[in-house]
Amino acid sequence: MADMTGLTTGSATRLVDRLERGGYVARTPDQQDRRRVLAAPVPERVARVSAAWDDLGVARQALLDEHTEDELEVITRHMRQTHDLSHARMQHLRSRPKPD
């Protein structure tokens, strides 16, 4: 999870702690590696989270429906360029030596 989110391992652990306390994930031992613990989503909570994102998706779609195809192409290009720029910057920052 730390790699996927860009968090430190300690921060990822605290994130999982909070998700577990909220009932969103359950920890289970890794059958392949006893030192590891896996975090699995709790199905009942997935539906609750999905519903919140579904509402946002409907609202975003309504915004997009107001644009022409040409405008959407510009918006899409800008979003891709911003994404690429952000990832390049993160890689650059991560490649630098850690401060003392």
Q: Kindly list the averaged pLDDT for each block of 10 residues, start to end, along the chain of length 100.
A: 84 94 94 90 90 91 96 97 94 85
What secondary structure does DSSP assign to 29-73, as a single string? E-SS-TT-EEEEE-HHHHHHHHHHHHHHHHHHHHHHTTS-HHHHH
Give the chain's radius of gyration (CA, Å).
Answer: 19
- How far is it, in rounded angstroms, from Cα 70 to Cα 48? 36
Considering only CA atoms, which of 14, 16, 18 is closest in space to residue 27?
16
61 to 53, 65, 75, 88: CA distances (angstroms) = 12, 6, 14, 29
Q: Tell me the whole-structure pTM to 2 decimals.
A: 0.58
pLDDT of residue 11: 92
